[in-house]
Amino acid sequence: MSNIMEINNRKTFAIISHPDAGKTTLTEKLLLFSGAIKIAGAVKSNKIKKAAASDFLEIEKQRGISVATSVLSFNYNDHKINLLDTPGHKDFAEDTYRTLTAVDSVILVIDCVKGVEEQTEKLMQVCRMRNTPVMIFINKLDREGKDPVELLDELESKLSIKVRPLTYPLGMGYQFRGVYNIYKNSFDFYSVNKTKIEDDVVVFEGLQDKGLDDKFGTDAQKLRHDVELIDGIYENFSIEEYLNGNLAPVFFGSAINNFGVKELLDTFIEIAPSPTNREITNGTVKPVDKNFSGFVFKIHSNLDPKHRDRIAFLRVCSGKFERNKFYLHVRLNRQLKFANPASFMAQSKSLLEEAFPGDVIGLYDSGIFNIGDTLTEGEGFMFKGIPRFSPEVFRIVRNTDPFKSKQMEKGIQHLTDEGLAQLFVQNYGNKKVVGVVGELQFDVLKYRLLNEYGASIDFVTMPAYKAFWLKYENKNDIQDLLNIRSHSLYNDKNGNLVFIADTDFSLKMAMDKNPNVKFLSSIEHNDQTILMGDVA
């Protein structure tokens, strides 16, 4: 098959949702429909429901499984689908944001009882930043939920995206009868847990078809009224608007009952984007470009504690990746070849000979990759748009076993490479501070340092409000910070200068006194402009 055909064949996406909306269930049903798995219950959820370390430890024991489910590749109707898994727990949201940089579209799952929830809003903000095309699946229609029109309004107002329902439900909960496909004028009848994965669909000649009255009796009027209302309110569906990330098609269903899933999947195959262009430091890379290129968006350390190996997950962006061929690791300016790259089909990992744009490959890594690293066939560019957000909680790291300092240093180095936490070292001292998005990450860091590196640490709380990367033209711009506020200045892993404000007031003061400095709450992994070198 030619490269172009391989590219057009592929769809790389993620399913996102607030925990419990039904992401794992939908993932499983997609795999069932595609034939990639045979029985329900095969997809292990790698999410953590409660914010407790003990839950994570249990998950850790299953790390092999969670890695295998990091990427699920399967075939459906002659397409190769790469589904990238994202952690459900909000404390690991950064991992999700990074994964979203590697997909071409997303499916957002909403619980019809709960509507748009906090985590949904945050995830959608990230999608909106990148104009990622979004499809919405409103789940759990077998339960008494919010009114569909109300849900659609809520989606538009809270997620700042236009929506267009492509199906519309008749009834809900006990009264749920099924969904009407607005464009195909067909009705898909609902039954509890459809055991055969096939449609029970009746096609009508439009809304005025008398058949509707035969099938639904008095409900037919309601259905006509609802669908006409929807057609009146919402503009016609435009694939182009969807692909630009401005308009989200909406489907209704019940994942656990296999209902509405096939419709979603079929439309997804039809309209979701194939691998798209990617921005680089000096232009754009197109999937059809002849030369191979790709970037690392996720790193998983110590899969097997006995071997200390890590896997770097690389998204192929252009050309063709081949096993045992030399590629340039741009940041290190080093030629590397990979003897054992892994691919992920359904739930198993296997050796890969070649990969095409849209594919995700696992590269065994002895510690040479950072998130955002680029591989090319020799060109010196880096991929852009891989964000690093300012952490929200900070703690000082205290080594509680002086004989294990080296192990601690190494462990912290590796685990922060992985993106589990961010490390800041005080500019004038040697105080080490780790910053995370959610408290649970501290527990995980401590646990993994002990179990994987034999290092024992404690955390000391510190007054910290927010952290900002500092952008400035020359050293004079930061004189006040260096002279008066040096205790709040830190260096991140790349040597960028960071201001950790202890209060809102101290932040305002610092900003007032340093008008030529930009205080940034997020930067890109490969942002070179911010590197200011040694200021101490």
**Closest separation in Å from C-beta 374 to ligand GDP:** 32
**Closest separation in Å from C-beta 313 to ligand GDP:** 20
How many other C-beta atoms lie within 10 A of the C-beta of residue 170? 23
Nearer to ligand GDP, 14 or 371 (CB): 14
The amino acid sitting at 520 is L
Q: Which residues bind ligand GDP (CB under 6 A)?
A: 17, 19-25, 45, 47, 88, 139-140, 142-143, 254-257
Contact indicator for 432, 441 with CB cutoff of 8 Å: no
Tell me how far apart the alpha carbons of residues 358 and 362 are, in angstroms, rounded to a whole number: 13
Strand blocks (E) in 338-492: 342-345, 348-351, 354-355, 360-365, 374-376, 387-389, 393-399, 422-426, 432-436, 457-461, 466-471, 489-491
Nearer to ligand GDP, 89 or 446 (CB): 89
Tell me how far apart the alpha carbons of residues 185 and 207 are, in angstroms, rounded to a whole number: 7
How many other C-beta atoms lie within 10 A of the C-beta of residue 195? 8
**Closest separation in Å from C-beta 159 to ligand GDP:** 17
Tell me how far apart the alpha carbons of residues 21 and 112 are, in angstroms, rounded to a whole number: 9
Nearer to ligand GDP, 119 or 374 (CB): 119
Nearer to ligand GDP, 86 or 390 (CB): 86
Contact indicator for 109, 26 with CB cutoff of 8 Å: yes
Strand blocks (E) in 56-185: 71-76, 79-84, 105-111, 134-139, 162-165, 167-170, 178-181
Nearer to ligand GDP, 259 or 313 (CB): 259
How far the first Cα of the chain sits from its last, in Å, is 56
Structure tokens at 497: 């200068």
**Closest separation in Å from C-beta 143 to ligand GDP:** 5
Tell me how far apart the alpha carbons of residues 290 and 304 are, in angstroms, rounded to a whole number: 36
**Closest separation in Å from C-beta 18 to ligand GDP:** 7
**Closest separation in Å from C-beta 226 to ligand GDP:** 21
**Closest separation in Å from C-beta 192 to ligand GDP:** 10
Contact indicator for 122, 91 with CB cutoff of 8 Å: no
Nearer to ligand GDP, 19 or 367 (CB): 19
**Closest separation in Å from C-beta 256 to ligand GDP:** 4
Nearer to ligand GDP, 21 or 312 (CB): 21
Reduce the secondary structure of 149-218 to three states and give it as a string: HHHHHHHHHHHCCEEEECEEEECCHHHCCEEEECCCCEEEECCCCCCCCCCCEEECCCCCCCHHHHHHCC
**Closest separation in Å from C-beta 113 to ligand GDP:** 9
Nearer to ligand GDP, 88 or 319 (CB): 88
Nearer to ligand GDP, 17 or 514 (CB): 17
**Closest separation in Å from C-beta 29 to ligand GDP:** 9
How many other C-beta atoms lie within 10 A of the C-beta of residue 340? 11
Residue with token string 């929830």: 117
Tell me how far apart the alpha carbons of residues 413 and 219 are, in angstroms, rounded to a whole number: 63
**Closest separation in Å from C-beta 66 to ligand GDP:** 13
Tell me how far apart the alpha carbons of residues 374 and 319 are, in angstroms, rounded to a whole number: 14
Q: Which residues contact 109 (CB under 8 A, 6 or more apart)?
A: 15, 16, 17, 21, 22, 23, 26, 136, 137, 139, 255
**How many residues can be counted in the chain?**
536
Nearer to ligand GDP, 16 or 248 (CB): 16
Nearer to ligand GDP, 108 or 497 (CB): 108
Plot region of 185 (φ>0 → left; ψ -120 to 50 → alpha; else → beta): left
User: Residues 301, 52, 462, CA angle at the centre, nearest 5°?
Assistant: 80
